[in-house]
Amino acid sequence: MKKIIILSIIFLNIFTVSAFSKNDLYEKIELFGEVLEKIKKDYVDEVDQSEMMGSAINGILQSLDPYSAYMSPELFKEMQTDTSGKFGGLGIEIGMEAGVVKVISPIDDTPAAKAGIKAGDYIVKIGTEQVQGKSLMEAVKLMRGPIGTSIDLTVRRKNVKKPIEFKITRKIIEVQSVTSKVISDKENLGYIRLKSFNENSDKQILSSIRKFERNKKIEGYVLDLRNNPGGLLTQAINITDFFLNDGEIVSTKGRNVSETRKFFARKGDETKGKPLVVLINNGSASASEIFAGALKDHKRAIILGENSYGKGSVQSVIPLNNGGGMRLTISKYYLPSGKSISEVGVTPDILVEETEDEFKINSAKDNQLNYAIKLFNS
């Protein structure tokens, strides 16, 4: 009963300011306590009360939006590596949609990408475990495991009737966020592939741009954000700034005054205003959408490809006293035009859908990149 009382106090603190009256609040807390007692006393199997409390807390957070979630101490420790560029797993960014785990994006050159997992796939089974009803963090825990071991994933894919099964071997994921090279037969285009917005991405992008700028043949740029699930907001702002001479990049609005801010470009376009094409697809999310949306609003770039994912919110990772943490949505971001991309995404200026047969990013069969090259050289 002690744990129920403690949780009731937590609920009181959370819901002090609420749409419903205090009487309604106390009734809900009393009901919660009654349900827990019934489970403890009458449920067919013995229940791990600590695990049940964790699920209850996670339920509160996931009822808010698909991106807020509770992390146990074990998961919180693992999560700390995600933005530093090295972690173990399959190499996919996932989110929740209507209680189902959805692939936001597979990361380039990882086991998941090589196996054929695509942005927009719904993961319905992990090994022998049905995913329906599990939390996002529970799904993450199931997918992670000893390096070198295999796991079976079953997914549902749009316009494919039957479930698709994949066997994927876990490995250490090295996220090299930036690659670059000169492309086109004329060798006149600087191609930059940005796979994620991690803590070193801006330095790598700037180094690539300055290297290209020393090449007198370079007449324009292609910046590839396909299957880029996002990352750090500060990195999105810094990298967008490299391609703008002035103007607003993005604004954030939250309940707290400190979360309501506007971010502007500093004077000086690192590419000296050269033509720019930005490639996006359904796996381009969050920070990728800030970049693409800002450059589209300022008419600084042509956006080419497919509609982006539509994640227009900012999460803060908050440590908790038990060694765990929670990811909580603290603000939403808005493009310079004032538009939110939440659940809408960034619409490309030129719609070019990827070809189904043997399509691979940055290859001879990459029809989207080939289209971008033709724009420059036509």
Q: Please list, in sequence order, all residues whose beta carbon lies within 8 angstroms of the beta carbon of residue 16, skipping any fewer than 6 positions away.
A: none
The distance from CA 193 to its chain's CA centroid, rounded to whole angstroms, is 17
The per-residue DSSP string of 225-277 comes to -TT---B-HHHHHHHHHTT-SSSEEEEEE-SSGGG-EEEEPPS--TTTT--EE
374 assigned to active site: no
Copy the structure tokens of residue 343: 């659940």
Q: How far is residue 337 CA from its own chain's centroid?
A: 23
105 tagged catalytic: no
284 flagged as catalytic? no
Neighbouring residues of 6: CB distance < 8 A, sequence distance ≥ 6: none
Estimate to the nearest angstrom the gap between the alpha carbon of 143 and the chain centroid. 17
Instruction: Write out the H or E segment, with its range, that includes residue 296.
Output: helix 287-297
Cβ neighbours around 94 below 10 Å, total: 20
- The contacts of residue 294 (CB under 8 Å, 6+ apart) are 240, 244, 248, 249, 250, 335, 336
> Of the residues 286, 288, 308, 313, which is catalytic?
286
Active-site option among 108, 202, 297, 366: 297
Find the catalytic residue in 102, 134, 296, 311: 311
CA distance 240 to 251: 13
Active site residues: 286, 297, 311
